[in-house]
Structure 1
Amino acid sequence: MNSQQHQTYYDLLGVFPSASEIDIRRAYRELSKKYHPDTTTLNTTTATAKFQALNEAYATISHPDRRSAYDLKIGYSRLFVVQTPSSFNRPPVADTSPLPNRPRYRSYIGPTERPLSGGEIFALFMLISTFLGCLLLAVLLGIARGEIS
């Protein structure tokens, strides 16, 4: 990076500062295949320098704490950035399930939006039943003490 001092790690990887971790990883993998000294047609010195710069950039912005510190260093703020999901502009994927009552298209945007598992449903049921049980117990105690008529 001696001739390109103004270039940020984001520029080096070809992503925006608001890029998701997945987009950063994808860009790094593509560029590392392109500039790896064993697989490129560039001379070894140039390929090694580019590959080391890519590794340094990826090591910094792939780690959340290092990325935050780097963003402060270059003056980038995530405070008012709204990130859309990477699949936002893609058409929905058709569901090829043979079941007739299933929806035709998947409605999940990402891995964090998924149906609850059996254990999560059970835990939610236990939480709600405990709350209702405590509420019922409080009402019954109020009636027994004569505070509620």
Structure 2
Amino acid sequence: MTPPNPTPNHYTLLNVKPTASPQEIRRAYRDMSKLYHPDTTTLPPAIATEKFKYLNDAYATLSNPEKRTAYDYSIGISRVAVVQVPTYLNRPASERGKYPKDNAYLDPNDRPLSPGELFALFILGLTFVGCLLLVVTVGWSKGELVLYSPDDSTAESITLPAPETTSPPVSIEQSPAVDPSSTSPRPLPPMELSPKII
């Protein structure tokens, strides 16, 4: 038979769980120190001093992260995060459905975007749209943005007056040979399509 441990576990001495945060440990220490401080307790001075000493030792160990990790290791408490089974799996399959209804869109470890992150995404989208509008505007103003009608039958025919020439007409036999495949027809700029007023 093992003898009882004269000093209880630091966590039970402070009445906190092993997963308690530093703030919870500090709050529990303040509450317990009011009970066991030799000046404020109703216990006999010898017992109060001994209990207060254990309380100070427990707080000194648990308030220091390195000492707390070593202490947890010595008593067999793991500080490694363990994968937790989702709570909705505890219900029967007929009750829970295909997906959990309370967090259908977010993983339990995800968090929603903060207002600052939403604002940054809004500014990013606005900048992207502004850049697209700038490219289209500059292309249109430089004349590099040409929009052709998909149907050539809608184009109006424009008749231009024949230019007056003083040179003699050239016959087809005298003209230099031109390979029709070497040159491709190019569309005339809008200025050349309009008739000239004399």
Q: Does 1:10 align with 2:18?
A: no
Q: Map Cα deviations across residues 54-83 of structure 1 (whole Å, 9 max, x no partner).
A: 00000001100000000000010123288x
Give the equivalent residue in structure 2 for 1:80.
Answer: 82
- Structure 1 segments unaligned to the other structure (5+ residues): 83-149
How many equivalent pairs are there? 106
Give the equivalent residue in structure 2 for 1:54.
Answer: 55
- Residues 74 and 30 (structure 1 numbering): CA distance in 2 closer, same or farther, change over 3 Å? same
TM-score, normalising length from structure 2?
0.40
Give the equivalent residue in structure 2 for 1:21.
Answer: 22
The whole-number CA distance in structure 1 between the counterparts of 2:14 and 2:71 is 15
The runs of at least 4 consecutive aligned structure 1 residues that moved more than 4 Å come to none
- Structure 2 segments unaligned to the other structure (5+ residues): 85-198
- Matched-pair contact (CA < 8 Å) for 2:25–2:63: yes
Higher relative contact order (CA 8 A, sep 6+): 1
- Matched-pair contact (CA < 8 Å) for 1:28–1:54: yes
TM-score, normalising length from structure 1?
0.52
Give the equivalent residue in structure 2 for 1:37.
Answer: 38
Greater helix fraction, Structure 1 or Structure 2: 1
- Matched-pair contact (CA < 8 Å) for 1:18–1:81: no
Q: CA RMSD in A?
A: 3.5
Q: What is the percent sequence identity of the aligned residues?
A: 54
- Matched-pair contact (CA < 8 Å) for 2:62–2:68: yes
Q: Which has the larger radius of gyration?
A: 2
